[in-house]
Amino acid sequence: MKKTDIPKHILQTAMHLSTEQGWQNLSLAEIAVAAKLPLSELYTIFPSKAAILKYLAAQADLQLMDGEEKDRLEQPVKDRLFDLLMNRFDTLSPYKRGLKAVIKAENGDPFAAVAQLCHLRRSMGLVLEAAGISTSGLRGVLRTKALSAVYLAAFRVWLKDDSEDMVKTMASLDKGLGKLDSWARRCSGTFCSKRNEKAA
Protein backbone atom coordinates (compact mmCIF):
# COMPACT_ATOMS: atom_id res chain seq x y z
CA MET A 1 0.00 0.00 0.00
CA LYS A 2 1.30 3.45 -0.92
CA LYS A 3 1.93 5.77 2.00
CA THR A 4 -0.42 8.33 0.48
CA ASP A 5 -3.22 5.74 0.48
CA ILE A 6 -2.97 4.97 4.21
CA PRO A 7 -5.19 7.80 5.53
CA LYS A 8 -8.03 6.80 3.21
CA HIS A 9 -7.53 3.14 4.15
CA ILE A 10 -7.82 4.05 7.83
CA LEU A 11 -10.95 6.10 7.14
CA GLN A 12 -12.59 3.25 5.25
CA THR A 13 -11.70 0.81 8.01
CA ALA A 14 -13.04 3.12 10.72
CA MET A 15 -16.32 3.66 8.88
CA HIS A 16 -16.71 -0.09 8.33
CA LEU A 17 -16.15 -0.81 12.01
CA SER A 18 -18.51 2.03 12.91
CA THR A 19 -21.20 0.29 10.87
CA GLU A 20 -20.49 -3.10 12.41
CA GLN A 21 -20.07 -2.24 16.08
CA GLY A 22 -20.94 1.41 16.58
CA TRP A 23 -18.81 4.52 16.87
CA GLN A 24 -19.00 5.42 20.53
CA ASN A 25 -17.06 2.47 21.92
CA LEU A 26 -14.75 2.02 18.95
CA SER A 27 -11.08 2.49 19.87
CA LEU A 28 -8.06 3.49 17.83
CA ALA A 29 -6.44 0.18 18.73
CA GLU A 30 -9.34 -1.72 17.16
CA ILE A 31 -9.10 0.40 14.04
CA ALA A 32 -5.35 -0.24 13.82
CA VAL A 33 -5.83 -4.01 14.12
CA ALA A 34 -8.53 -4.06 11.45
CA ALA A 35 -6.45 -1.83 9.17
CA LYS A 36 -3.41 -4.08 9.74
CA LEU A 37 -1.28 -1.15 10.86
CA PRO A 38 0.80 -0.56 13.98
CA LEU A 39 -1.10 1.63 16.40
CA SER A 40 1.90 3.96 16.53
CA GLU A 41 1.64 4.56 12.78
CA LEU A 42 -2.11 5.12 12.91
CA TYR A 43 -1.70 7.50 15.84
CA THR A 44 0.79 9.69 13.99
CA ILE A 45 -1.82 10.18 11.26
CA PHE A 46 -4.99 10.28 13.37
CA PRO A 47 -4.45 10.84 17.10
CA SER A 48 -8.20 10.57 17.73
CA LYS A 49 -11.44 9.42 16.14
CA ALA A 50 -12.39 13.08 15.79
CA ALA A 51 -9.30 13.51 13.60
CA ILE A 52 -10.60 10.78 11.30
CA LEU A 53 -13.89 12.64 10.92
CA LYS A 54 -11.99 15.87 10.32
CA TYR A 55 -10.06 14.14 7.54
CA LEU A 56 -13.32 13.00 5.93
CA ALA A 57 -14.64 16.56 6.11
CA ALA A 58 -11.45 17.85 4.49
CA GLN A 59 -11.79 15.33 1.66
CA ALA A 60 -15.38 16.42 1.12
CA ASP A 61 -14.24 20.05 1.03
CA LEU A 62 -11.65 19.26 -1.62
CA GLN A 63 -14.03 17.24 -3.77
CA LEU A 64 -16.78 19.83 -3.75
CA MET A 65 -14.42 22.22 -5.50
CA ASP A 66 -13.81 19.89 -8.43
CA GLY A 67 -14.45 21.62 -11.74
CA GLU A 68 -13.51 24.86 -13.41
CA GLU A 69 -14.10 27.95 -11.27
CA LYS A 70 -14.72 30.12 -14.33
CA ASP A 71 -17.48 27.84 -15.59
CA ARG A 72 -19.00 27.62 -12.12
CA LEU A 73 -19.11 31.38 -11.66
CA GLU A 74 -21.04 31.77 -14.90
CA GLN A 75 -23.98 29.84 -13.39
CA PRO A 76 -26.77 31.42 -11.34
CA VAL A 77 -25.91 31.59 -7.64
CA LYS A 78 -28.49 29.00 -6.60
CA ASP A 79 -27.12 26.52 -9.15
CA ARG A 80 -23.55 27.08 -7.94
CA LEU A 81 -24.48 26.31 -4.35
CA PHE A 82 -26.60 23.33 -5.37
CA ASP A 83 -23.79 21.74 -7.38
CA LEU A 84 -21.18 22.35 -4.68
CA LEU A 85 -23.31 20.85 -1.91
CA MET A 86 -24.29 17.85 -4.02
CA ASN A 87 -20.58 17.25 -4.66
CA ARG A 88 -20.18 17.07 -0.87
CA PHE A 89 -22.96 14.51 -0.56
CA ASP A 90 -21.42 12.47 -3.38
CA THR A 91 -18.15 12.33 -1.46
CA LEU A 92 -19.85 11.30 1.78
CA SER A 93 -22.12 8.67 0.19
CA PRO A 94 -19.70 5.71 0.46
CA TYR A 95 -19.53 6.35 4.21
CA LYS A 96 -23.23 6.88 4.88
CA ARG A 97 -23.76 3.75 6.97
CA GLY A 98 -20.76 4.56 9.14
CA LEU A 99 -21.92 8.14 9.55
CA LYS A 100 -25.30 6.94 10.75
CA ALA A 101 -23.46 5.20 13.57
CA VAL A 102 -21.60 8.43 14.35
CA ILE A 103 -24.92 10.23 14.67
CA LYS A 104 -26.28 7.48 16.88
CA ALA A 105 -23.26 7.97 19.13
CA GLU A 106 -24.25 11.63 19.37
CA ASN A 107 -27.58 10.54 20.87
CA GLY A 108 -29.31 10.87 17.53
CA ASP A 109 -28.56 14.57 17.22
CA PRO A 110 -27.78 15.29 13.54
CA PHE A 111 -26.62 18.84 14.29
CA ALA A 112 -24.00 17.70 16.80
CA ALA A 113 -22.82 14.96 14.46
CA VAL A 114 -22.67 17.16 11.38
CA ALA A 115 -20.97 19.93 13.32
CA GLN A 116 -18.30 17.44 14.41
CA LEU A 117 -18.07 15.78 11.02
CA CYS A 118 -17.96 18.82 8.82
CA HIS A 119 -16.81 21.60 11.13
CA LEU A 120 -20.00 22.95 9.71
CA ARG A 121 -19.42 26.68 9.62
CA ARG A 122 -15.96 26.34 8.16
CA SER A 123 -17.13 23.98 5.45
CA MET A 124 -20.19 26.06 4.57
CA GLY A 125 -17.99 29.14 4.48
CA LEU A 126 -15.83 27.36 1.95
CA VAL A 127 -18.89 26.47 -0.13
CA LEU A 128 -19.90 30.12 -0.23
CA GLU A 129 -16.41 31.27 -1.20
CA ALA A 130 -16.20 28.60 -3.91
CA ALA A 131 -19.53 29.90 -5.23
CA GLY A 132 -18.09 33.41 -5.42
CA ILE A 133 -19.96 34.72 -2.37
CA SER A 134 -18.00 36.61 0.26
CA THR A 135 -18.07 35.42 3.88
CA SER A 136 -16.56 38.60 5.30
CA GLY A 137 -18.23 40.72 7.94
CA LEU A 138 -21.71 40.42 9.42
CA ARG A 139 -23.25 39.52 6.09
CA GLY A 140 -20.78 36.69 5.75
CA VAL A 141 -21.72 35.35 9.18
CA LEU A 142 -25.42 35.48 8.28
CA ARG A 143 -24.82 33.78 4.94
CA THR A 144 -22.81 30.99 6.56
CA LYS A 145 -25.42 30.38 9.24
CA ALA A 146 -28.23 30.35 6.70
CA LEU A 147 -26.45 27.94 4.37
CA SER A 148 -25.55 25.70 7.33
CA ALA A 149 -29.25 25.42 8.19
CA VAL A 150 -30.11 24.46 4.60
CA TYR A 151 -27.32 21.89 4.49
CA LEU A 152 -28.32 20.38 7.81
CA ALA A 153 -31.92 19.96 6.67
CA ALA A 154 -30.74 18.27 3.47
CA PHE A 155 -28.31 16.12 5.46
CA ARG A 156 -31.17 14.73 7.54
CA VAL A 157 -32.99 13.79 4.34
CA TRP A 158 -29.81 12.36 2.79
CA LEU A 159 -29.32 9.95 5.69
CA LYS A 160 -32.65 8.29 4.83
CA ASP A 161 -32.41 8.70 1.06
CA ASP A 162 -31.56 5.29 -0.42
CA SER A 163 -32.19 6.24 -4.05
CA GLU A 164 -29.22 6.06 -6.40
CA ASP A 165 -29.84 9.53 -7.78
CA MET A 166 -30.49 11.07 -4.33
CA VAL A 167 -33.73 12.58 -5.63
CA LYS A 168 -35.11 13.34 -2.16
CA THR A 169 -31.87 14.96 -1.11
CA MET A 170 -31.82 17.11 -4.23
CA ALA A 171 -35.43 18.14 -3.65
CA SER A 172 -34.69 19.18 -0.07
CA LEU A 173 -31.60 21.09 -1.10
CA ASP A 174 -33.38 22.81 -3.98
CA LYS A 175 -36.24 23.83 -1.68
CA GLY A 176 -33.89 25.19 0.97
CA LEU A 177 -31.79 27.15 -1.50
CA GLY A 178 -34.95 28.49 -3.08
CA LYS A 179 -36.01 29.90 0.29
CA LEU A 180 -32.58 31.48 0.72
CA ASP A 181 -32.85 33.05 -2.71
CA SER A 182 -36.25 34.54 -1.86
CA TRP A 183 -34.96 35.75 1.49
CA ALA A 184 -31.91 37.35 -0.15
CA ARG A 185 -34.09 39.30 -2.54
CA ARG A 186 -36.35 40.51 0.24
CA CYS A 187 -33.33 41.56 2.30
CA SER A 188 -31.75 43.44 -0.60
CA GLY A 189 -28.83 41.10 -1.09
CA THR A 190 -28.02 40.06 2.47
CA PHE A 191 -27.23 36.54 1.27
CA CYS A 192 -25.76 37.21 -2.15
CA SER A 193 -23.74 40.19 -3.25
CA LYS A 194 -25.18 42.56 -5.82
CA ARG A 195 -22.75 41.19 -8.37
CA ASN A 196 -24.00 37.67 -7.77
CA GLU A 197 -27.64 38.77 -7.80
CA LYS A 198 -27.13 40.14 -11.30
CA ALA A 199 -25.49 36.87 -12.33
CA ALA A 200 -28.60 35.02 -11.15
Distance of CA 189 to the CA centre of its chain: 25
Give the mean pLDDT of 131-137.
92
Q: What is the CATH number of the domain that holds 13?
A: 1.10.10.60
153 & 111 share domain? yes
Residue 190 has pLDDT above 70, yes or no: no
Residue 191 has pLDDT above 60, yes or no: no
72 & 129 share domain? yes
pLDDT for residue 186: 67
16 & 96 share domain? no
Identify the helix (H) or strand (E) that includes residue 137. helix 137-160
Residue 187 has pLDDT above 70, yes or no: no
pLDDT for residue 13: 98
Question: In the chain, how many domains are there?
Answer: 2
Residues of the chain with pLDDT > 70, as a percent, come to 83
Across the chain, what does the average pLDDT equal? 85
Span of 14-18, 119-123, 132-136 with lowest mean pLDDT? 119-123
DSSP 142-177: HHHHHHHHHHHHHHHHHHH---TT-HHHHHHHHHHH
* CA–CA gap between residue 28 and residue 26 (Å, rounded): 7
24 & 76 share domain? no
* CA neighbor of 89 nearest in space, from 170, 1, 193: 170
Cβ distance 180 to 88 under 8 Å? no
pLDDT in tens, 136-152: 999 899 999 999 999 99
79 & 151 share domain? yes
Residue 195 has pLDDT above 50, yes or no: no
Q: What is the CATH number of the domain that holds 156?
A: 1.10.357
- The pLDDT confidence band at residue 75, using thresholds 50, 70 and 90, is confident
pLDDT for residue 32: 98
Where does a domain end: 12, 27, 50? 50
Looking at per-residue pLDDT, the higher value among 189 and 93 belongs to 93
Give the mean pLDDT of 65-86.
82
